Homo-oligomer: A and B are copies of this chain.
Amino acid sequence: MIIDCHGHYTTAPKQHEGWRAQQVAAFDGKSAVPPRPAISDDEIRDSIVGAQLKLQKERGTDVTIFSPRAAGMSHHLGDAKISEQWARACNDLIHRVCTLFPENFVGVCMLPQSPGVSPANCTAELERCVKELGFIGCNLNPDPSGGYWKDPPMTDRFWYPIYEKMVELDVPAMVHVSMSCNPNFHTTGGHYINGDTTAFMQFITAELFKDFPTLRFIIPHGGGAVPYHWGRYRGIAQDLKKPLLKDFLLKNVYFDTCVYHQPGINLLSQVIPTDNILFASEMVGAVRGVDPETGFNYDDTKRYIDKLAIPAADKQKIFEGNAHKVFPRLAKALKK
């Protein structure tokens, strides 16, 4: 079985984002937040069948660990209450997709984060999604301000309440920023990759996993710049008198394979232990075109893994085994 650990619902019916616009507009207090829009099962089916489901079949993958559109989380808009309403709406929609296509999608939730607000505010929604909706993880935004990086680093005690809940529920988080509202950072080309790199470097400087030995993070987009600069990060850790990175962080930190060319995937596989790599495509997502150098979609990442010169057992770990290790609730979710 081939499990894609990183897919977003980028194709949700239009009235969902339409309601979001109304909800945000109502934040000025001059209008009321309207009730959530009606979305029929057929509309949800239509939004999936010709997109994510079609691509799964074409590319030969089986299951997508599925979460709300990452840029759409936009935690910088409104306040904690606005984020809570929006997170519930998004997560409920993911739940409907997973219910309509139980063999193809398993849910991961977004959290109702808001700049400057304690992540303790997010534990109830995480618990609801895991216990009531059968979700198996969450996306955690290290920068709810959307490109201004105003909250403390992920190693700060500010974040501990959500980590405690993650540990209690035995679910991992993908470290995933949302839309950039800083004109310096292109969302998918700048902010996303910077967020990944930033989080990993934060983990190097602290002792977070002494406090939470079972806490698990996936760093998406192939770990940002980290594998390419693996020597730099090993060296900085060494200068800081930390243990070897493989002993210090790699029991808790994993990388996905959203790297859109063969040389990048080759490097990832060469420097990061196989046990720490999870297959992912981020489709339908950041890059939608066909690579003229290969004739295939940039984000058809299965092809790159297929071409790796590694044993079949290692590929099985990347495609399936590691996902079960990082998401212990996955097996049960798939049985349903």
Contact = CB atoms under 8 A, between A and B. Distances in A.
A151 B183 CA distance: 9
Contacts of A183: 152-153
Contacts of A289: 235, 238-239
Given A153-B184, A204-B186, A193 B261 contact: no
Interface string A255-293: 000011101101100110000000000000011110101
Interface in A225-242: 225, 227-236, 238-239
A118 interface: no
Contacts of A197: 190, 193-194, 197, 225
A229 B193 contact: yes
Interface stretch (A13-21, A37-45, A123-131, A141-149): A141-149
| Copies per assembly | 2
Contacts of A149: 147-148, 182, 184-185
Interface residues of A, number: 57
A194 B289 CA distance: 25
A287 B235 contact: yes
Contact of A202 (B186, B204, B259): B186
A22 interface: no
B259 A263 contact: no
A228 B232 contact: no
Q: Which of A153, A201, A222, A230 has the most CB of B within 10 A?
A: A201
A142 B261 CA distance: 28
Interface string A153-180: 1000000000000000000000000000
A76 interface: no
A232 B260 contact: yes
22 contacts: A147-B149, A148-B149, A151-B184, A152-B183, A153-B183, A153-B184, A186-B204, A189-B204, A189-B205, A189-B233, A194-B197, A197-B197, A222-B228, A231-B264, A231-B287, A235-B286, A235-B288, A235-B291, A236-B286, A236-B287, A261-B271, A264-B267
Closest 7 A/B residue pairs (Cβ): A231-B261, A231-B260, A225-B225, A235-B287, A228-B228, A235-B298, A189-B201
Interface of A: 142-143, 147-149, 151-153, 182-186, 188-190, 193-194, 197-198, 201-202, 204-205, 221-222, 224-225, 227-236, 238-239, 259-261, 263-264, 266-267, 270-271, 286-289, 291, 293, 298-299
Given A147-B149, A235-B291, 19 more contacts: A151-B184, A152-B184, A153-B183, A189-B232, A190-B202, A193-B197, A221-B229, A229-B259, A230-B263, A231-B287, A231-B291, A231-B298, A232-B259, A232-B261, A234-B260, A234-B298, A235-B298, A238-B287, A239-B289
